[in-house]
Homo-oligomer: A and B are copies of this chain.
Amino acid sequence: MISKEQIKRIRSLHKKKFRDQHGLFIIEGTKMIQEALKHSPNAVQTIYNADDSFIDFESSVENIAINKKQLNQISTLQNPQKHIAVCRYLKSSSVSTDFIIALDSIQDPGNLGTILRLAAWYGIDQVIASKETVDVYNPKVVQASMGAVFTVDINYVDLKEVLQKTDLSIYGAVLNGTSIYQKSVRKEGILLMGNEGNGISDELLPFIQHPISIPQFGKGESLNVAMATAILVSEFFRHSDGK
């Protein structure tokens, strides 16, 4: 059972202000909950199961039965799945890595989510983002990441400060840079990706040591930033394929 007060509190997590206040966020769907329990079991606070569709997630996490109406009230989706969990904010493990993706004001939740999923696939442990970047606990980011929020560290930082201090080489995706296909890159460095509409901000441009581009073969005006990140990351990793 769940009280009106509790529903109100969970609903409040749809907004960043209240997520930050409570240090909690929502995940939805069986698969996402399984990923959370696998990678960050301590982060999962409570699982809500609609319509007696209790699943044994083999964990000690509290399970609460709710009805369909309550599900619709707490879900962020138009067509809610039957399982929703409330999770605690994740702790950054601040690992030190030699390849980092840096995001300058990415606005679209789907873009941030799929970039995190990409990072998880390539084993990139750390993504850093400017404070203007969309919130990682935004439900759309979490969903699009397909659980990668639980395996990839994302830190919101002052990018200028980080770029000033780092010893790593700084690569920036720009128009009219060196073709990535002509440049031999290894998986070491910071790959800086800019905002969907405006690219990398003026104050960060001077820090780029290696301006790189994906050559344009056709008439397309531009590439989606998440797609461009995928193509560039692939180039950094293609030589280290040990399989």
Give A contacts to B, CB under 8 Å. 35, 39, 110, 114, 117-124, 144, 146-148, 151, 179, 181-182, 214-224, 226-228, 230-231, 234-235, 237-241, 243
Known: A218-B151, A234-B234. A117 touches B227 (CB 8 A): yes
Given contacts A117-B223, A121-B223, A223-B230, 6 further A-B contacts (CB under 8 A): A118-B220, A120-B220, A121-B222, A123-B219, A181-B241, A182-B243
Residues of chain B within 8 A of A230, CB atoms compared: 223, 227-228, 230-231
Q: Is the CB of B241 within 8 A of A120?
A: no
A179 engages B119 (CB within 8 Å): no
Complex Cα distance A224/B143, Å? 12
| B114 x A222 contact (CB < 8 A) | no
* A239: nearest chain-B partner, CB-CB: B181
Q: Given A114-B227, A231-B230, A241–B182 Cβ distance below 8 Å?
A: yes
Q: B121, A220: Cβ atoms under 8 Å?
A: yes
Q: A110-B110, A231-B231 are in contact. Are A237 and B217 (CB under 8 A)?
A: yes
Q: Which of B123, B147, B216, B218 contacts A218 (CB 8 A)?
A: B123
A217–chain B nearest beta-carbon distance, Å: 4
Q: Which residues of B contact A35 (CB under 8 A)?
A: 221
Asked if residues A114 and B215 are in contact (CB atoms below 8 Å), the reply is no
Picked from B118, B217, B243, the residue with its CB within 8 Å of the CB of A121 is B217
Most buried by B among A119, A124, A219: A219
A236 smallest CB distance to B (angstroms): 11
Find the B residue at minimum CB distance from A187: B217
Query: Contact at A219–B179, with CB atoms within 8 Å?
Result: no
A224 to B118, CA, bound (A): 8
| Docked CA distance A226–B115 (Å) | 12
User: Judging by beta carbons under 8 Å apart, are A217 and B114 in contact?
Assistant: no
Residue among B122, B215, B219 making CB contact with A217, cutoff 8 Å:
B122
